[in-house]
Structures are given as C-alpha cells and as structure tokens.
Structure 1
C-alpha cells in the first residue's frame, strides 16, 4: 500500500492517542465534582451545578476516550467465535463490520451537527435550575464522533493491510 494511507493511519492514531490520554484524566474531574457535591450537601448549601457538570464531564470522558479505546482494541467483542479465527479472517470480518459502524457514526454525527447548530443559533440552555449553555458539550460530542469516524477509517486501513499480509 502506498505511503499516503500509512501516513493517514499514523496521523489519526497519534491524534487519538494524545486526545485519549488527556481524556482519561477526565475521570478525576468527575470525581472532584462529585466529591464537592457530597461535601457541599453535608457542610454547606447544596450546589445546583454539580450533577449536570458531572454528567457533562462523563460525556466528554466517554466520547473523547472512545477512539482511544478502539485504537487499543479494548472495545467489547463477542469472543465466542472471534477468538478462534485466524488474524486474516478476523481482519476480513472487521473490515466489513466497521463499515456498519462508520455508517452509524455518520448518522450520529449528522444529528449531533444539527443539534449543535441549533444550540449555537438559539443559545440553547439546559432546562434545569442551573441552565448551562448546551453548545459546549454538543460541540464536544461532534469532535468525539468525528475522531471516532477517523479512527474507524484508520482501523479499516489496518484491516486491509492485514488481509493483504502487509506489515502495519
């Protein structure tokens, strides 16, 4: 395979590796928010921003860490048959099934883009008492879904290389 797809794979893997490594510290942000929530409810007045902030932190953690998870191969698979297959046959099955995932993510990105555009245009706010703006988390979702699509394309190229018997 030419150098161009290999550069694409290397670039996407590098970006998603770095984003994933940063996103994995989001769990500590969420822990801090929930710890403050517990402390403030016990000793002070309860904060009305903690639950929603924790939810936003969890969404960012999950959506930005997804491509890194795919890259590491730590996504969930039905290993009943998959574990017994040869690496080449696994690559063939993965190359077909990843196309379904890319289609699903494309539909998801389309909806996320529309929702983000709406949130930006109308300054959409959450219907809770805190009423935070919704566009930051929706934009994070668009970025995360886009990175996931790019990582899926990277994995697809790696599967094609495995099928051809080439070194990755």
Structure 2
C-alpha cells in the first residue's frame, strides 16, 4: 500500500507541476495580446504572429492546467445532486462516471491527439491561420501531453475513490 501511495503522490506532483507551467502561459497571453493591440491600434502595424501565439498559448494553458484542475476538483461539474450525497456516495458516483463517461471519452481524445502529434512531426505540418505558418508539432504535442496528464490524474483520483468506496477510508 505504501508504494501505491507513493505513485499517487507522484502523479499529484506531476499535476501540480503541470499547473505551475500552465500559469505562465497566461502571462504569454497577456503580453502577446497587449503587444498586438498596441501595435495594431496605435501604430497601425498588426503582427503576423500574435493570433497564432494567442491561440497556442490559450490552448496550452487550458490543456496543461486540466490535470491540475482535476487534482483540485476545480473542473466543471453538474453538482445539483452530487453535493447532496454523503462522501462515500460521491466517491461511488465518481467511480461510475469515470468508468462510463470520462475514461472512454478521454481515451478516444488522447488517441486522436497522439495520432495528430505524430502526423504533425512526420509531415512537418504548419498552421495556416496566418502568414506566419508556425510549425504545428509543438502545439499538437502539448495537446497530447495535456490529455495524457489529465488521464493520469483521473486514474489516481479513480483509485482513491474506488478505495474509499470499498474500504470507507481515504488513501492519502
């Protein structure tokens, strides 16, 4: 049981680190957006790169922050009935929803994201949203990594919830 706790703690640490990295992309969003707005409106000199940077930074923030949000239960949940359940009932609901809703959807999304990332590297894909044409593989790879980290954190939460449902005690 001690090794399982260490694995779960390691996954939590990875999610914390991912959230720490993700928050810096909020700063990239602010600076790139500000630079573009000032450049466009005050100097009549729009950039070629700002739109792509904003899209990629926003997506990176969202994807790398997903496992952090899941760790801290900050994700969106319809909790009208969920909050009325006792703690063991909530854990049971988490287990059932994870098995039948979350994991199937996320596994399909991860498989597609991984395929897209490999394809982007293989064909040297670029984005065509602007005349900058940045390479697509870094963003596609972050997309796959973010989904993998989310799945990893979901597995850790699933193990904790299942343990709580069966044993009635937390696994911390």
- Runs of 4 or more, structure 1, over 4 Å off, are none
TM-score, normalised via structure 1 length:
0.95
1:5–1:157 contact (8 Å) kept in structure 2 = no
1:18 corresponding residue in structure 2: 17
Question: How many pairs are equivalent?
Answer: 167
Query: Deviation digits for residues 96-152 of structure 1, max 9, x if unmatched?
Result: 111221221111111111111111111101123111000000000111010000000
- Partner Cα separation in structure 2 for residue 53 and residue 130 of structure 1: 10
- Partner Cα separation in structure 2 for residue 87 and residue 25 of structure 1: 35
Counterparts in 2 of 1:14-163, with a 5 A limit?
14-41=13-40, 42-99=42-99, 100-127=101-128, 128-163=130-165
Instruction: Name the Cα RMSD after superposition.
Output: 1.1
TM-fit CA distance, 1:162: 1.8
Query: Which blocks of at least 5 consecutive residues in structure 1 are unaligned?
Result: none
TM-score, normalised via structure 2 length:
0.93
Secondary structure (helix, strand or coil) at the match of 2:80 reads helix
- Partner Cα separation in structure 2 for residue 109 and residue 77 of structure 1: 21
Query: Which blocks of at least 5 consecutive residues in structure 2 are unaligned?
Result: none
1:7 corresponding residue in structure 2: 6
